[in-house]
Amino acid sequence: MSTFTGIGEERASDREEFTPGLEPQPTWCPGCGDFGVLKALKGAMPEVGRTPDETLLVTGIGCSGKLNSYFESYGFHTIHGRSLPVARAAKMANPGVEVVAAGGDGDGYGIGGNHFMHTARENHDMTYIVFNNEIFGLTKGQTSPTSPKGHKSKTQPSGSAKDPIRPLSLALTSGASFVARTAAVNPNQAQRILVEAIEHDGFAHIDFLTQCPTWNKDAKQYVPYVDINDSEDFEFDPTDRAEAQELMRETEDKLYEGEVLTGVYYRDDDRPSYGQEKRAIGEMPDEPLAERYFDTDYEWERSADAFLAKHR
């Protein structure tokens, strides 16, 4: 039993609990894909048996970063690109809390790209949702790391000369143990994938296609989509890294040809999470560190007793 009674309550929750009872109403534009993420997440949390007081939703900056303004739980709206380092430390500090991080494609694959690589590599037991709208939404439509080559915007008037980043492949090579893509236009699949991702014991990355009708008008609405796990056209095993890699590459290319492939691409359920790795080498306590400060019986060590002898 946790010192914090918000954690591990044996009761069912429902989507209403994750909906703030009061303003603010979302400030997203009508038709924005971000609504789809909010809806799927509200549906997924009760399904995984979590309640608002034991959930921490950490976001970056962007339209996407507003997610925790409209979601009822503990929330930390950080700074641009830095949701992951905040979130992974939160998980290490109190593994009993369900930690979900979220942000935009600029936030996660651009300015925060280094953290993405390293958080995946470390395989923290958390979920990371990237709202991929192939654009900088909040700053009014500049080209993002996932914008297609040739994409024109006010800051790339002649079109982007860069090939877009490959988010799924990047997650896989970096070490993520669960990699998926879903789309806002497919709320059922999105919720199902979110549930799997949250239940997965390791770093679960979801590239979430979220249409931006305001700044990315010519972009597709991500329909029709194909679910690679269901479709008969794809004979494929998501536990096979080589197959996953190949299909990810195809998926990333196809998106720019107008074909939307989605689903769970990769999962490795055997890889230990970072917490398990750290505990195995004696570098993380078994009991949640955060709770120690609230445990009146804990006997704290002092430096004088533990370390002064070698200075005598």
Binding site for ligand SF4 (CB under 6 A): 28-29, 32, 34, 63, 133, 137, 212-215
Which residues share a beta bridge with 74?
Answer: 56
Whose Cβ is closer to ligand SF4: residue 34's or residue 54's? Answer: 34
Task: Decide: is 43 part of the binding site for other proteins (CB under 8 A).
Answer: no
What single letter denotes the amino acid at residue 223? V
Given the rule CB under 6 A, which of 130-138, 237-245, 250-258, 267-275 is the region that contacts ligand TPP?
130-138
Q: Does 56 help bind other proteins (rule: CB under 8 A)?
A: yes
- Select from 13, 133, 189, 273 the one that contacts Mg ion (CB under 5 A): 133
Contacted by 207, from Mg ion, ligand SF4, other proteins, none: CB < 5 to 8 Å by type: none
Residue with tokens 């915007």: 153
Residue selected from 51, 64, 177, 182 as contacting ligand TPP according to rule CB under 6 A: 64
For the bound state, the minimum distance from the C-beta of residue 84 to other proteins, rounded and expressed in Å, comes to: 8
DSSP 273: P
Distance CA 105, CA 216 (A): 14
- What whole-number distance in Å separates Cα of residue 198 and Cα of residue 69? 20
105 binds Mg ion (CB under 5 A): yes
Helix (H) or strand (E) holding 194: helix 187-199
Number of neighbouring beta carbons within 10 Å of residue 301? 8
Among ligand SF4, ligand TPP, other proteins, none, what binds residue 227 when CB lies within 5 to 8 Å by partner kind? none
Report the C-alpha gap between 209 and 131 in whole angstroms.
Answer: 6
Rounded CA separation 239/177 (Å): 10
CB closer to Mg ion, 137 vs 263: 137
The 75-94 contact track toward Mg ion, x by CB under 5 A, reads --------------------
79 belongs to the binding site for other proteins (CB under 8 A) = yes
Regarding 59 and contact with Mg ion (CB under 5 A), the answer is no
Nearest alpha-carbon partner for 104 in 75, 147, 71, 74:
147
Conformational region of residue 238, where left means phi above 0, alpha means psi within -120 to 50, and beta covers everything else: alpha
Q: Please tell me the distance from the alpha carbon of residue 111 to that of residue 116, in angstroms, as a whole number.
A: 10
Q: Rounded to an integer, what distance in angstroms lies between the CA atom of residue 23 and that of residue 53?
A: 19
Nearer to ligand TPP, 139 or 221 (CB): 139
Dist. CA 125–CA 120, nearest whole Å: 10
231 within 8 A of 264, measured Cβ to Cβ: no
Residue 105 binds which one of ligand SF4, Mg ion, other proteins, none, with CB within 5 to 8 A depending on kind?
Mg ion
Q: What number of other Cβ atoms are within 10 A of residue 13's Cβ?
A: 19
76 to 105, contacts with ligand TPP by CB under 6 A? 80, 103-105
Interatomic CA distance for residues 51 and 6, integer angstroms: 8
The least CB distance from residue 182 to ligand TPP, in Å, is 16
Q: Which partner, Mg ion, ligand TPP, other proteins, none, binds residue 63 by CB below 5 to 8 Å per kind?
A: ligand TPP
CA distance 32 to 241: 33
Q: Summarize as ranges the residues that interact with Mg ion (CB under 5 A).
A: 104-105, 133, 137
Q: Summarize as ranges the residues that interact with ligand TPP (CB under 6 A).
A: 61-64, 80, 103-107, 131, 133, 135-139, 144
Q: Summarize as ranges the residues that interact with other proteins (CB under 8 A).
A: 2, 4-7, 9, 20-24, 52-56, 58, 61, 66, 68-69, 72-79, 82, 85-90, 92-94, 96-97, 114-115, 117-118, 278, 282-285, 289-294, 298, 300-304, 306-308, 311-312
